[in-house]
Amino acid sequence: MKPTDFIPTMQQKVATTAIGPSALRNQGKGVLSAAQLFLAEVSLSKIPRSDLNEFEEWLDWQTEKLLEALPVKGKPWGTARKAINLFLRDVLYNRYLCYKSGLETIEPWLEIPLDSAVAKGLKRLGQRGQLPRWPGLKKLTKPVSQHFQEFASELAEQKGVERIHLDIYLWLENR
């Protein structure tokens, strides 16, 4: 292995471990490997770092591109978005990838990766009726996701952390 292979190899490792079998369980045959392959090839240097709106457009664009790569009918938006959010979280947590790509600046913009456990935890922490019914990952839409993300942002502010880190708290509470 050449030293120049290290960063791409690290990105492939992070894409594979961030999106493990339990993360995309029951999402369809081939979805896991398609998501891992797609994320291993994402150009981290092209992620917008200086403008929230540009970052959100990039995130939506990547979600659509991943949907095209998934080998299933119905193109589950929630599945693609969760995979990308898990990957970005683990890139942020990996000092080599984060430093090389300069992605520490996007930390406040990263979304909490939504799934049934996270939705259950957020609903438990909210007021009755404050969040919509969880439709399941395959049927999650952008508007419902945004509602959960907005609530997560408020909760994160109360805890003094960025929204992406709530995943750790909720995971520990639900294990």
Q: Average per-residue pLDDT in the chain?
A: 92
Please check whether residue 83 is in contact with residue 39, taking contact to mean a CB–CB distance below 8 angstroms. Answer: yes
What is the pLDDT, as a whole number, of residue 152?
Answer: 97
> Which ranges of 126-163 would DSSP assign to H, the alpha helix?
142-159
Count of residues for the chain?
A: 175
Please check whether residue 69 is in contact with residue 38, taking contact to mean a CB–CB distance below 8 angstroms. Answer: yes
pLDDT in tens, 70-124: 888 878 999 999 999 999 999 999 999 999 999 999 999 999 999 999 999 999 9
Distances from the Cα of 134 to the Cα of 97, 122, 141, 161, 175, angstroms: 33, 11, 10, 24, 19
Helix (H, G, I), strand (E, B) or coil at 131: coil
pLDDT at 3 over 80: no
Helix (H, G, I), strand (E, B) or coil at 162: coil
pLDDT in tens, 44-72: 999 999 999 999 999 999 999 999 998 88
Residue showing tokens 């659509």:
64
Helix (H, G, I), strand (E, B) or coil at 81: helix
